[in-house]
A and B are shown apart, each in its own frame.
Chain A
Amino acid sequence: MSDIADRVKKIVVEHLSVEEEKVTENASFIDDLGADSLDTVELVMAFEEEFGIEIPDDAAETIQSFGDAVSFIQKNV
């Protein structure tokens, strides 16, 4: 697994207090990992901070799952 995916996973595990095994490629933050809409905003804020990038709101809306987050960050970091 790439370094980016590891870092994203760490943020998700810490922020949503979920077990690492549950954070799979297709795991949806809201449907599978118990996030509410505020959590998803906070996750995006945490990704921005961790990777020093800016994620605009329209892009943030497309980041629904762990896999979405990793691929977005890989493309934009």
Chain B
Amino acid sequence: MFDLTGKSALITGASGGIGGAIATALHEAGATVGLSGTREAPLQELAETLGERAHVLPCNLSDAQAVDALPKQAAEAMGSVDILINNAGITADNIFMRMSDDEWDRVINVNLTSSMRLCRAVIRPMMKARWGRIVNVTSVVGVTGNGGQVNYAASKAGMIGMTKSIAQEVASRGITANCIAPGFITTAMTDKLNDKQKDGIMGAIPAGRMGTGEEIASAALYLSSAESGYVTGQTLHVNGGMAMI
């Protein structure tokens, strides 16, 4: 089950905790992986750990031209892009009253607009191939909202609506588009929280712990596989029960 031999996957944000875990899981399942991210050094490091079938494709997702060029570079390196994992995301938290246009624009641009550009670019070859998997990594706060993250929550909710609409358009061509909505996952982002914040979070998670990147990666592997072909337009919540939607 979940054999990705012969498939090529482009993963954005592969230098981060969740993205790295997703790339590792897809690679283990036999896929060729294109590791994208802003910082080249951690991507190189991951590629070396993975060995064969791993390509480093640095890209600054706030640069529209670079984003448009990325799928082409990925297809040149790997032969095709059968699986797209839009995992990269940034935050620029602030209370809403103080949120600047710049904070809003940056987050919407990287999280939502760049995902849209990448989806749009890979859809055409996927339609020709009559097969494709798009997995957009959103967030629990895109559904529940979160004070201090108006921009981030809006970008993540936007991804869900976008994914559902893409899913409807291309379902008849063997292409699925789904979201994964992680809750609190142990990453560099959540390591920065202090103990008091962590205690507060734990109290809200029935599982009583944060999730791991590997637990998100398992969901991504499923949604990238042939076996999930009848699942499309869905949001898979992986959050230890903190929001049951």
Report B169-206 CB contacts with A as 1/0, cut-off 8 Å. 11011000000000000000000000000000000000
Q: Answer whether residue B128 sits at the interface, using C-beta atoms and an 8 A cutoff.
A: yes
Main secondary structure of the interface of B (DSSP, over half): helix
A16 to B68, CA, bound (A): 31
Contacting pair A38 B128 (CB below 8 A): no
Contacting pair A38 B170 (CB below 8 A): yes
Contacting pair A45 B173 (CB below 8 A): no
Contacting pair B169 A38 (CB below 8 A): yes
Q: Answer whether residue B124 sits at the interface, using C-beta atoms and an 8 A cutoff.
A: yes
Question: Which residues of B24-82 have CB atoms within 8 Å of chain A's CB atoms?
Answer: none
A41 to B124, CA, bound (A): 9
| Chain B interface category by residue count | under 10
Report B120-152 CB contacts with A as 1/0, cut-off 8 Å. 000010011000000000000000000000000
| Chain A interface category by residue count | under 10
Q: Answer whether residue A20 sits at the interface, using C-beta atoms and an 8 A cutoff.
A: no
Contacts of A45 in B (CB 8 A): 124, 127-128
> Who on chain A is nearest to B124 by CB?
A45
Question: With contacts defined as CB atoms under 8 Å apart, how many contacts are there between chain A and chain B in the complex?
Answer: 11
Contacts of A50 in B (CB 8 A): none
Q: How near does chain B come to A26, taking the closest CB pair, in angstroms?
A: 27
Q: Answer whether residue A42 sits at the interface, using C-beta atoms and an 8 A cutoff.
A: yes
Contacting pair A38 B172 (CB below 8 A): yes
Q: How near does chain B come to A39, taking the closest CB pair, in angstroms?
A: 10
A38 to B169, CA, bound (A): 8
Contacts of A41 in B (CB 8 A): 127
> Who on chain B is nearest to A37 by CB?
B169
Contacts of B124 in A (CB 8 A): 45
> Who on chain A is nearest to B128 by CB?
A45
Contacts of B172 in A (CB 8 A): 38
A45 to B123, CA, bound (A): 12
Contacts of B169 in A (CB 8 A): 38
B residues apposed to A, CB below 8 Å? 124, 127-128, 169-170, 172-173
A residues apposed to B, CB below 8 Å? 38, 41-42, 45
Given A38-B127, A38-B173, A42-B128, 6 new contacts (CB under 8 A)? A38-B169, A38-B170, A38-B172, A41-B127, A42-B127, A45-B128
Q: List 11 A-B contacts (CB under 8 A).
A: A38-B127, A38-B169, A38-B170, A38-B172, A38-B173, A41-B127, A42-B127, A42-B128, A45-B124, A45-B127, A45-B128
